[in-house]
């Protein structure tokens, strides 16, 4: 028997779907969309984004290309898809620099490390600030005013 209180998950791991989504979300190599999780109960979509094995990233100290040490997922709110909240769950690598040791990346292509919002989300909200009240913006993005 189906019970409404349980979450409904749908995994999308179709290469055509992920390649279309990669174009729409401007996800470029070495990044790729690994999978998409749709939670109908929470009305949320999560795009899981990883980097290709063997990728190198610039050391934040010296800009030298370095191998990946490890990585962990961080989640950023992105622009909604229809009426679903959309999140980018990015596996953020730490690199191992021969001169500076293990370092976390300080820059990613479409988000700032200091926030939990993608750059497009922030730009959208900043545009709304010019025309809407804070409570109207909070309602639009479905957050409390805090």
The answer to whether 24 contacts Zn ion (rule: CB under 5 A) is: no
Per CB under 5 A, does 69 bind Zn ion? no
Nearest distance from C-beta of residue 66 to Zn ion, angstroms:
7
123 three-class SS: helix
- The residue (of 63 and 83) whose beta carbon lies closer to Zn ion is 63
Contact 32, 55 (CB under 8 A): no
Residue 3's CB: how many other CB atoms inside 10 A? Answer: 5
Tell the smallest beta-carbon distance from residue 61 to Zn ion (Å): 4
Residue 60 or 71 having the CB closest to Zn ion: 60
Binding flags for Zn ion, 38-67, as an x/- string (CB under 5 A) = ---------------------x-xx-----
Which range touches Zn ion (CB under 5 A), out of 30-38, 77-85, 99-107, 118-126? Answer: 99-107
Neighbours of 77 (CB within 10 A): 21
> Which residue in 72, 139, 146 sits closest to 104, CA to CA?
72
Nearer to Zn ion (CB atom), residue 40 or residue 67: 67
Are 84 and 77 contacting, i.e. CB atoms less than 8 angstroms apart? no
Smaller CB separation from Zn ion, 94 or 120: 94
Pairing label, strands 44-51, 84-97: parallel
Minimal distance in Å, beta carbon 100 to Zn ion? 4
Rounded distance between C-alpha atoms, residue 146 and residue 134, angstroms:
10
């Amino acid at each position: 028997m189906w019970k409404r209180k349980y979450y409904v998950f749908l995994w999308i791991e179709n290469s055509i779907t992920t390649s279309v989504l990669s174009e729409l979300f401007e996800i470029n190599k070495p990044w790729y969309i690994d999978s998409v999780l749709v939670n109908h109960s929470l009305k949320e979509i999560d795009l899981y984004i990883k980097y290709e094995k063997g990728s190198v990233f610039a050391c934040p100290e010296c800009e030298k290309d370095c191998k990946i040490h490890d990585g962990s997922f961080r989640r950023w709110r992105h622009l909604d898809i229809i009426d679903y909240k959309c999140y980018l769950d990015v596996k953020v690598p730490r690199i191992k620099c021969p001169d500076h040791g293990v370092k976390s990346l300080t820059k990613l292509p479409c988000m700032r490390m200091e926030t939990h919002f993608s750059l497009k989300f922030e730009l959208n909200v900043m545009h709304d600030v010019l025309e809407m009240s804070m409570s109207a913006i909070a309602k639009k993005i479905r957050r409390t005013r805090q």
